[in-house]
Structure 1
Amino acid sequence: MSVSPPRPLDGPVPLDEADRRLINHLHEGFPLCAEPYHEAGRALGMDADEVLARLEALLARGVLTRFGPLFQVERLGGRFVLTALAVPEARYAEVTALVNALPEVAHNYRREHRLNMWFVLATETPDGIAEAIARIEAATGLPVFAFPKEEEYFVHLRLPA
């Protein structure tokens, strides 16, 4: 499924009961079978086309920012690290392009803070993090602040139906 990047939300977005049930159901796990959208829809009283249409609409409206697997990269021998930069406003677009050009950058967020650019680095090996940080520092001339995960938490999201 390919959808344009979501637009920023200006406030709460109304969801109908079917959207809420779909989000809750898929948050519990995506069916691993030959026809997963059909299977998800069957459990919710929808057909596969409705499931796909609803997901595409939720992504397009910015209610969902992504729909896809989350991998435990550490179990595969890799590493994730949350990182940040303090980017001068005049260079923000330039630095964003430099950072986002690296394949190791999973996603990038602007924040209203001295550290105004936050992004996640994902590498195939633990040593890849230091290499990616060194490339970003060399390309931007800015120090990268790395915040390695100390403990993992799972936040269980449930929307009232």
Structure 2
Amino acid sequence: MSRPAATRPALDAADRALINRLQRGLPLVDAPYAAVGAELGLSEAEVLQRLQSLLDRRVLTRFGPLFHAERLGGALLLAALAVPQADFERIAALVNAFPEVAHNYEREHALNMWFVLATATPAALEAAILGIEAATGLPVHRFPKLEEFYVGLYLPA
């Protein structure tokens, strides 16, 4: 769900430039954050502080490498549950307790809880789904990846 404009964290030009730059990856050098900072006119410390601030303010929900689980022999799946609203927080805690759950979010839909499962093997994916169903008492709706897309978010400076 998107937030109303009034509650969105403000981003200055340096935040936007940093987000845009980091989507192209980190340089393979001894001090990658210093190199990114030099490109943007920021110190290494400022790059790290801004990155931490973006995470703390939930502008970014994650910062880290992106692995292709399937290419490494693993499995990935988008899944959803239809959770009674009164029980949403309890069910979210149960789902989030599974280490295979990469992230979890609420949607305004009959299937109102969506999450991504990532496992080292396809068999482990099935075990995680069965575990979530047992823990929650709800059926997990599976949405396997049919095609992969990368959508970059580039912000105006």
TM norm structure 2:
0.91
- Supply the distance in 2 between the matched residues of 1:89 and 1:157 (Cα, whole angstroms): 31
2:73 maps to what in 1?
A: 77
How many residue pairs match? The answer is 154
- Supply the distance in 1 between the matched residues of 2:53 and 2:3 (Cα, whole angstroms): 14
Matched to 1:133, the amino acid is I
1:53 aligned to which of 46, 49, 53: 49
CA RMSD of aligned residues (A): 1.6
Aligned to 1:159, the other structure's residue is in SS state coil
2:126 aligned to which of 97, 108, 130: 130
2:17 aligned to which of 18, 21, 25: 21
Deviation at 1:30, TM superposition (A): 1.5
2:146 maps to what in 1?
A: 150
Report the CA distance shift for 1:116/1:28 in structure 2 as closer, same or farther (over 3 A): same
Aligned to 1:56, the other structure's residue is in SS state helix
Aligned to 2:23, the other structure's residue is in SS state helix
Q: Which runs of 5 or more structure 2 residues have no equivalent in the other structure?
A: none
Matched to 1:51, the amino acid is V
- Supply the distance in 2 between the matched residues of 1:64 and 1:52 (Cα, whole angstroms): 13
Runs of 4 or more above 6 Å deviation: none
Matched to 1:70, the amino acid is L
Report the CA distance shift for 1:55/1:139 in structure 2 as closer, same or farther (over 3 A): same
Deviation at 1:31, TM superposition (A): 2.1
Aligned to 1:52, the other structure's residue is in SS state helix
Post-superposition CA distance 1:109-132 (Å, at most 9, x none): 011111111100000011211111
Aligned 8 A contact 1:9 1:62 in 2 = no
Q: Percent identity over the alignment?
A: 60
Deviation at 1:78, TM superposition (A): 0.6
